[in-house]
Amino acid sequence: MWLTRVSILVTLGAFTAFGVEYFGVTATHRDPSELVQAAVFFFVVSFLVYGGVVYLTSRLGWLHRRLEFRHAGTAELRAFCSETPASLRFWFRRIRKRRTSCAIRCPRPHSRTFREGGWSS
């Protein structure tokens, strides 16, 4: 985890140093085309650094969650299963309603659809 934090700091430090040096060099040029090229290059580098920082922070979050995660014990799992009975009736009703409404809205003459009474052609 410490390596990821160091990598984020090194990335941001390098980008800051790059920006200071790059703007110092581009400040001496007065040609508008060179300034546009410099701005486009800085924009591209900024997005690359942004992608790297996003990756490193998501990696840091994953490592943090991985360290704090604990598996539930057998007694805890049994208590949870006995408290909440598994009921799939609600989901089956919902799927049936959705399939029925889809079949009514989009009829296909040569397909079988599920209606309230069962499967029909």
Its domain, for residue 109, covers 89-121
Residues 98 and 63 reside in one and the same domain: no
Instruction: Please write the tens of the pLDDT for every residue from 32-56.
Output: 887 888 888 889 999 999 999 999 9
Residues 8 and 65 in one domain: yes
Q: Is the dihedral of CA 110, 112, 114, 117 positive or negative?
A: positive
The answer to whether residues 49 and 17 belong to one domain is yes
Beta strands (DSSP E) in the chain are: 113-115, 118-120
Full DSSP string of 5-23: HHHHHHHHHHHHHHHHHHH
How many domains in the chain?
2
Same domain, 64 and 110: no
Query: Using one digit for the tens of pLDDT, what is the confidence trace for 46-105?
Result: 999 999 999 999 999 988 888 888 787 888 877 777 766 666 666 666 666 666 655 555
CA separation for the pair 20, 101 (Å, rounded)? 62
The model carries a pTM of 0.53
Question: How far is residue 81's CA from residue 29's CA, in Å, rounded to a whole number?
Answer: 71
- Do 44 and 99 lie in one domain? The reply is no
pLDDT value at residue 67: 86
pLDDT of residue 36: 83
Whether residue 34 lies inside any domain: the answer is yes
